Amino acid sequence: MSTNTVDRFLNHLRHELNYSPHTVEAYGRDLRQFVGFLSGHSGRAVELASVDVADVRAWLASLGEAGDSPRTLRRKVQSVRALYRFMMCRGEVADSPAADLELARLPKRLPTFVREGEMDTLLDDGLDAGSADEVRNRLMVMMLYETGMRRAELITLRDAMVDTSKGELRVRGKRDKDRVIPFGTELAAWIERYRQLRDRAGQRGDTFFTRRDGQPLYPSLVYRVVHGALTQAGVAGKASPHVLRHSFATAMLTGGARLDSVKQLLGHESVATTQVYTHVTISDLKNNYKHAHPRALKKGG
């Protein structure tokens, strides 16, 4: 019964809510671990409708003893809460055994980003681009930084979705939602340059970016290209495709873009998700103030 309920819930996420395979898989791991613990703890198959808060607390205690971090524990509780919300909506339970659990609040981690000067140094550096691969790799970094798209969106981007005459591209994001992102003339020129070299080399395929055999890119390839470019440019700290998305959002807000506009460009469901970047820019302003303003430099007497 428990396994069937979990499977129904995962199918609901996959087919009705259009959650990504990665997200559905993560929910599945958490919930099967939960059901497995309950079955092993009692020595028999467990009815999810009979689970109480003490059972959930016992599971969390076992995970904590096994070394799971507070962040991981919070995620697993959210998975259980989501399952029981699903059951409550279908009248299978009256309430959730995980609803009233209080977990320690986690400090907000500010997203890592690359400063504009560092990105300018990287993207303005001269390039002897004689091959489609060289131009493609440079263009991947430029496009991630100048549009804020996700790595998965870059990989699935189709040629017909990129319009250099209008200076815009159409991205298919999470839950199959489309959004339009504008871009400038420099990026448009690089796009046309890549298209010419790609087609001339016989590398054209179903997607805009391709490998030499015309097949789409894959996640680890995009990571290697971005990581290599940022590391070679001397960018300190984490150097991943998602850092370029963070850098796009930070640059937009620092430059005066409205929060709701950045939300739309990033494809966020809620403006609350976008607001984390305002903390980044405010933090940067505070650091600049402390290092520059004469009164901020004075020590208490």
Angle in degrees, 0-180, between the axes of helices 219-232 and 132-147, rounded to the nearest 10: 90
Ranges of the chain with pLDDT below 50: 289, 293, 295, 300-301
Residue 117 pLDDT: 80
Active site residue 289: no
Tens of pLDDT, residue by residue over 274-300, are 877 776 666 655 665 455 545 455 554
Residue 251 pLDDT: 87
Answer yes or no: do 121 and 222 share one domain: yes
94 within some domain:
no
Residue 301 pLDDT: 41
| Catalytic residue chosen out of the listed positions 12, 158, 238, 242 | 242
| Catalytic residue chosen out of the listed positions 81, 115, 227, 268 | 268
Read off the CATH number of the domain in which 225 is found: 1.10.443.10
Residue 116 pLDDT: 79
CA-closest candidate to residue 244, choices 139, 124, 163: 139
> The domain containing residue 26 runs over which residues?
2-89
| Catalytic residue chosen out of the listed positions 76, 136, 138, 150 | 150
Active site residue 242: yes
Active site residue 150: yes
* DSSP 8-state secondary structure symbol assigned to residue 216: B
Read off the CATH number of the domain in which 49 is found: 1.10.150.130
Q: Is 45 exposed, middle or buried (0-12, 13-18, 19+ CB in 10 A)?
A: exposed
Last residue in a domain, options 37, 70, 89: 89
Which residues pair with residue 181 across a beta bridge? Answer: 169
Q: What is the pTM of this model?
A: 0.61
How many structural domains does the chain have?
2
| Catalytic residue chosen out of the listed positions 138, 195, 245, 263 | 245
Answer yes or no: do 55 and 126 share one domain: no
Residue 253 pLDDT: 84
| Catalytic residue chosen out of the listed positions 81, 172, 174, 238 | 174
Active site residue 32: no
103 within some domain:
no
201 within some domain:
yes
Answer yes or no: do 144 and 275 share one domain: yes
